[in-house]
């Protein structure tokens, strides 16, 4: 027998107790949706997992109204310390139910269990723990004393890291004192709905977080609804549409969009670790990563050696059942995404690049794509410019650091970049000139809740993570809230002549004494659980 | 098992180095090898350690681990009786399970070699052919602090007494002082001392003592140096210095062996020694070998575990796999 054909080691699905149908999570309860329900399937086998409700515009309006009520009556009046308690509780529940969440994520998304188990879910807990700590320290968020929440945040997240993107959105929003209506991606709603159960378990006040499932129209309805903040992670096309839709309104926006990251390998790089980094950069999560290192820029004098070693390494990757603990490459998330990857790969061949795919057997059922690299790619090729969002690497070469920087920056995107070199001074000098939000040195695709993340140019605006990610859900104490401004415009009452600051104080912020009294009540309630 | 011949080893080194193996040439060569990123190396080792080896794969792995063990006793208190006990265990690791494979070798101090050879009797032979080898530590083990003449005499005596494998230590002091030429020459001289009158040669394992080299860059350079000088195996540690074998260090040495094979087509063995006590850990090493250099390296002349307590843990796991329940320390024998 071959030792390397490890015996199957599937993670048990017995830990999951899924319902057959899931409703919308509005005002603390699961309710039926008024849109046409849809099925969520496992991309690895195309088997049906559950029926998911679809929210129409009325459902979205109900969810936003619930969030508004929760904001005005409970959440905005609760002390930061008490909000933090809820967030800590959520983080601990995520840890307690980590295995269940990891299995659900791999089932619904197609990513390997070793990634959902070792990366996604631990980071979800880390994000809640991190922002839980911030909830009572908002004075230090960089906006001056007593910053205020924005109100209701409408959040739309993608399918590549379903639960992690939920955590990136919800944790800072709640810590800052906002309430939330979140729409998970159509193909990966499962873990968001399990998360809703966790919120019930944590006894988070009803309406503070609402989860509406559905397709693009649901998301559009949420962006159009009466929310104060829109946060979106996804494609640049949709991001552009959202930016147009909210232009001219008072809604604040953060967009985290596509990328075409350059991973630059200099000839003095620690070669074995660079190969690992290249693999991790583009084949992690089947390349469904907005900050994936999809353009490999290799110094020409080591190009052939790097490509050789890369091919050898890719031949050891194990593609297959996402729930098997030894799987390195899981399933492509959807038929539509697989079609897009195939189309762009065919374009690559047509443009004259040389295609090489790792020799591996693809399962008959489900959506699969073998790890693929294109060599001989030129900067003018579409596969060097467009985001493939799949396990496809384009290899380009460069001769000097200047050329590497110029090529790396020659993209409409600017989300991330990687530098591989043993020379610290070169890493710093090159990093200084790269126009990308995140730059990894001698590593790739590492995330930490304390580190801000976001892009330049068409990769979006605003930052998530760290203190900066908190700032995206806060406004300085003196600024007027959008609602307050609208209320003033509508009434044009004599009070409008008072100073804006005093008015904002009166309308947007309850008196300190009153706030602390209410919060101590809710603290007792919280402590009893 | 026999080592490679000295002539070809030296010729190969000269071809790779492009000059005589003096300090300057070796320094140019060894310092021209790409560096090691410690964080990345450790991450890769940790990732390999998460492989889940179950059922039939686990059964195969446990048996293979046993057949790759150099069962070791290296104490000041070693006696002929202790060595005989070790040899008995090596030949019959689990008396309750006659099908249990034998270990690859027993590893003893040089003066204990005659007792080991005698106790093995007909079982003495090449582990690739089902025999058990005798390995002897030599060259002023474990510190290596002695004159070259004494190191060579130490080696020649063990070979003459019947040792099939010599585990030598490099002069870490000379290596850290940048005297690569001296280290090279000593390894080459010991290699020469491994030669028997009939022209065959004992296999040479070169112990780097990675716990004293400390940095991964040093380990990588010392690995290249030892292979260039003609070592048939590179070995992590004496077991007398902490840390001894670790998964990242072993991975790094396997990467050197892989690169050497790419460069010359010649296969060199790797032996992690010291600190590997559980089946679970040992399986991580098997995974690392298989996924770095390939499965064909999981044979006694290309991979060994230097260990003593590992064997009993593997036997317990083996019993558990067969019977479905755990036994206990009294159901395996002490040696």
Q: Is A27 left (phi over 0), alpha (psi -120 to 50) or beta?
A: left
Q: Are residues A247 and A232 in the same domain?
A: yes
- A46 is a domain residue: no
As to burial, measured by CB atoms within 10 angstroms (0-12 exposed, 13-18 middle, 19+ buried), residue B7 is exposed
CA distance B18 to B29: 9
> Does the CA dihedral A300-A302-A307-A313 come out positive or negative?
negative
Same domain? For A282 and A220 the reply is: no
> Do residues A198 and A94 touch, judged by C-beta distance below 8 A?
yes
Instruction: Kindly state the tokens that stand for A445.
Output: 């695709």
Q: What is the pLDDT of residue A478?
A: 75
Mean pLDDT of A106-117: 98
Find all residues with CB under 8 Å of A505, minimum gap 6, and list them: none
Tell me the pLDDT tens digit for each residue of A72-91.
999 999 999 999 999 999 99
pLDDT confidence bin for B335, thresholds 50/70/90: confident
Separation between Cα atoms, residue B191 and residue A424, nearest integer Å: 40
Q: What angle do CA B44, B47, B48 make, to 5 degrees?
A: 90
Q: Are B66 and B313 in contact (CB under 8 A)?
A: no
Which pLDDT band, with edges at 50, 70 and 90, does A387 fall under? very high
Segment B164-172 shows an average pLDDT of 98
pLDDT (average), residues B104-110: 98
Cβ–Cβ of A442/B295 closer than 8 Å? no
Largest CA distance in chain A: 87
Task: Give the CATH number, domain containing residue A61.
Answer: 3.40.605.10
Contact (CB, 8 A) for A163 and A141: no
- Residue A273, min C-alpha distance to chain B (Å): 5
The yes-or-no verdict on residue A503 having pLDDT over 70 is no
ipTM: 0.94
Whether A520 has a pLDDT exceeding 50, the answer reads no
Q: How many C-beta atoms lie closer than 10 Å to residue B24's C-beta?
A: 11
Indicate whether A247 pLDDT > 70: yes
Judge if pTM exceeds 0.90.
yes
Question: Do both A30 and A117 map to the same domain?
Answer: yes
Q: How far apart are alpha carbons B105 and B71 in whole angstroms?
A: 6
Contacts of A273 in chain B (CB under 8 A): 36-37, 39-41, 44
Instruction: Determine, yes or no, domain membership for B1.
Output: no
By Cβ distance, the residue of A3, A5, A9 closest to B54 is A9
**pLDDT averaged over chain A?**
92
CATH of the domain at B253: 3.20.20.70
In a domain, A296, yes or no: yes
- Asked if B41 has any chain A CB less than 8 Å from its own CB, the reply is yes
Residue B2, pLDDT score:
58
Q: Report the chain A residue with the minimal C-alpha distance to residue B248.
A: A273
Q: Write the CB contacts of A255 (distance below 8 Å, at least 6 apart in sequence).
A: A232, A233, A239, A242, A243, A460, A461, A462
| B11: contact with A, CB 8 A cutoff | no
DSSP string, A22-49: E-EEETTEEE--SS--EEEE-TTT--EE
Q: What are the tens digits of pLDDT across the range A284-337?
A: 999 999 999 999 999 999 999 999 999 999 999 999 999 999 999 999 999 999
**pLDDT number for residue B10:** 84
CA separation for the pair B311, A346 (Å, rounded): 54
Residue B52 has pLDDT above 80, yes or no: yes
Query: For residue A301, which residues of chain B lie inside 8 Å, CB to CB?
Result: none
CA gap A403, A411 in Å, rounded = 14
The answer, yes or no, to whether residue A493 has pLDDT greater than 50, is no
Q: Is the pLDDT of residue B36 over 80?
A: yes
A522 pLDDT more than 70: no
Decide: B175 and B131 in contact? Cβ < 8 Å: no
pLDDT of residue B86 exceeding 50: yes
pLDDT of B70 strictly over 50: yes
Domain enclosing residue B108, as ranges: 6-331
Instruction: Note whether B19 contacts A: Cβ–Cβ < 8 A.
Output: no
Nearest Cα to Cα of residue B163 among B190, B142, B186: B190
Q: How far apart (Å, rounded) are the C-alpha atoms in residues A82 and A77?
A: 10
A326 and A253 part of one domain: no
- For residue A393, tell me if it sits in a domain: yes
- Asked whether residue A432 falls in the same domain as residue A329, the answer is yes
Q: Which CATH number goes with the domain that contains A279?
A: 3.40.309.10
Place of tokens 């609602």: A483
Give yes or no for a contact between B249 and B223, defined as CB atoms under 8 angstroms apart: no
Question: Do both A128 and A268 map to the same domain?
Answer: no
Is B54 inside a domain boundary? Answer: yes
Q: Is B235 a catalytic residue?
A: yes
Q: Examine the residue annotation and report whether B82 is marked as an active-site residue of this protein.
A: no
Predicted confidence (pLDDT) at residue A480 exceeds the cutoff of 90: no
Query: Are A468 and A375 contained in the same domain?
Result: no
Does any domain span residue B32? yes
Question: Within a 10 A sphere around the Cβ of A382, how many other Cβ atoms?
Answer: 16
Least confident of A203-207, B103-107, B323-327: B323-327
pLDDT at A270 exceeding the cut of 90: yes
Domain tally for chain B? 1
Whether the predicted pLDDT of A517 surpasses 90: no
Instruction: Please indicate whether residue A217 or residue B4 has the higher confidence score (pLDDT).
Output: A217
Look at residue B287 and tell me if it is in a domain.
yes
Rounded Cα distance between A298 and B113, Å, is 53
For residue B39, list chain A residues with Cβ-Cβ distance below 8 A. 273, 442-443
Q: Is A185 found in the same domain as A78?
A: yes
Q: Provide the domain count of chain A.
A: 2
Count of CA atoms in the C-beta half-sphere (13 A) of B137: 25
**From the list B52, B55, B298, which residue is nearest A326 (CB)?**
B52
Residues of chain B with C-beta less than 8 angstroms from the C-beta of A442: 37, 39-40
- Cβ of A9 within 8 Å of Cβ of B52? The answer is yes
Partner B, chain A 411-440, Cβ-Cβ below 8 Å: 422
Q: Does the CB of B44 have a partner CB in chain A at under 8 Å?
A: yes
A277–B54 C-beta distance less than 8 A:
no
Range of the domain at A371: 262-449
């Amino acid at each position: 027998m071959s030792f390397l054909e490890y015996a199957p080691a599937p993670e048990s699905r017995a830990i999951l107790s899924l319902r057959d149908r899931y409703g919308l999570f509005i005002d603390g309860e699961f309710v039926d949706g008024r849109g046409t329900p849809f099925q969520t399937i496992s991309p690895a086998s195309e088997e049906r997992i559950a029926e998911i409700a679809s929210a129409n515009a009325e459902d979205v309006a109900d969810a936003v109204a619930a969030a508004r009520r929760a904001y005005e009556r409970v959440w905005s009046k609760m002390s930061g310390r008490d909000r933090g308690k809820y967030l800590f509780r959520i983080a601990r529940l995520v840890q307690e139910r980590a295995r269940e969440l990891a299995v659900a994520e791999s089932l619904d998304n197609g990513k390997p269990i070793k990634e959902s188990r070792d990366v996604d879910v631990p980071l979800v807990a880390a994000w809640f723990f991190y922002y839980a700590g911030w909830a009572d320290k908002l004075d230090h968020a960089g906006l001056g004393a007593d910053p205020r929440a924005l109100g209701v945040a409408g959040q739309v997240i993608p399918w590549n890291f379903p639960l992690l993107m939920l955590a990136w959105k919800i944790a800072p929003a709640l810590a800052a004192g906002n309430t939330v209506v979140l729409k998970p991606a159509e193909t990966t709603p499962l873990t968001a709905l399990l998360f809703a159960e966790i919120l019930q378990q944590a006894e988070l006040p009803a309406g503070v977080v609402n989860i509406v499932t559905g397709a693009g129209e649901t998301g559009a309805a949420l962006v159009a609804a009466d929310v104060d903040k829109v946060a979106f992670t996804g494609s640049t096309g949709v991001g552009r549409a959202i930016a147009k839709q909210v232009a001219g309104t008072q809604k604040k926006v953060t967009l985290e969009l596509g990328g075409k990251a350059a991973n630059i390998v200099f000839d003095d790089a620690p070669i074995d670790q660079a190969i690992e980094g290249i693999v991790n950069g583009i084949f992690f999560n089947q390349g469904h990563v907005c900050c994936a290192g999809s353009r490999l820029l290799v110094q020409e004098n080591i190009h052939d050696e790097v490509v050789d070693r890369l091919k050898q390494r890719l031949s050891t990757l194990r593609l297959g059942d996402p729930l098997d603990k030894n799987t390195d490459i899981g399933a492509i998330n959807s038929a539509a995404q697989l079609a897009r990857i195939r189309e762009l790969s065919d374009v690559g061949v047509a443009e004259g690049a040389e295609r090489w795919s790792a020799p591996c057997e693809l399962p008959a059922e489900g959506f699969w794509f073998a790890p693929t690299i294109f060599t001989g790619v030129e900067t003018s090729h579409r596969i060097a410019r467009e985001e493939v969002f799949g396990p496809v690497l384009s290899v380009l070469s460069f001769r000097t650091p200047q050329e590497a920087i110029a090529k790396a920056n020659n993209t409409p995107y600017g989300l991330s970049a990687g530098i591989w070199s043993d020379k610290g001074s070169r890493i710093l000098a090159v990093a200084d000139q790269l126009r990308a939000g995140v730059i990894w040195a001698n590593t790739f695709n590492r995330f930490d809740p304390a580190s801000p993340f976001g892009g330049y140019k068409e990769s979006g605006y605003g930052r998530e993570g760290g203190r900066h990610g908190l700032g995206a859900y806060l406004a300085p104490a003196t600024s007027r809230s959008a609602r307050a401004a609208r209320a003033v415009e509508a009434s044009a009452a004599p009070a409008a002549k008072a100073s804006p600051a005093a008015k904002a104080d009166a309308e947007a912020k309850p008196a300190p004494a009153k706030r602390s009294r209410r919060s101590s009540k809710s603290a007792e309630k919280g402590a009893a659980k | 098992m026999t080592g490679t011949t000295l002539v070809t080893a030296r010729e190969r080194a000269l071809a790779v180095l492009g000059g005589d193996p003096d300090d300057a040439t070796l320094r140019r060569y060894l310092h021209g090898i790409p560096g090691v990123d410690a964080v990345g190396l450790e991450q890769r080792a940790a990732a390999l350690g998460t492989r889940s080896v179950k059922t039939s794969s686990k059964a195969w792995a446990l048996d293979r681990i046993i057949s790759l063990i150099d069962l070791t006793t290296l104490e000041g208190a070693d006696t002929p009786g202790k060595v005989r006990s070790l040899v008995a265990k090596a030949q019959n690791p689990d008396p309750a399970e006659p099908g249990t494979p034998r270990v690859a070798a027993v590893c003893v101090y040089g003066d204990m070699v005659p007792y080991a050879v005698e106790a093995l009797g007909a079982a003495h032979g090449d582990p690739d052919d089902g025999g058990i080898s005798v390995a002897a530590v030599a060259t002023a083990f474990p510190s290596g602090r002695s004159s070259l003449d004494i190191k060579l005499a130490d080696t020649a005596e063990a070979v003459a007494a019947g040792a099939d494998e010599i585990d030598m230590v490099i002069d870490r002091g000379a290596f850290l002082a940048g005297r690569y030429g001296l280290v090279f020459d000593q390894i080459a001289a010991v290699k020469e001392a491994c030669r028997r009158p009939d022209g065959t040669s004992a296999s040479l394992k070169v112990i780097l003592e990675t716990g004293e080299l400390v940095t991964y860059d040093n380990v990588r350079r010392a690995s290249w140096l030892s292979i260039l000088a003609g070592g048939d195996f590179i070995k992590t540690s004496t077991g007398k210095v902490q840390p001894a074998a670790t998964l990242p260090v072993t991975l790094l040495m396997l990467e050197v062996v892989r690169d050497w094979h790419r460069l010359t087509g010649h296969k060199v063995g790797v032996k992690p020694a010291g600190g590997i006590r559980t089946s679970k850990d040992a399986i991580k090493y098997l995974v690392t070998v298989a996924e770095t250099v390939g499965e064909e390296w999981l044979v006694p002349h290309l991979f060994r575990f230097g260990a003593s307590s590992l064997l009993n843990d593997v036997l317990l796991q083996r019993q558990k796999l067969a019977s479905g329940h755990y036994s206990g320390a009294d159901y395996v024998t002490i040696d």
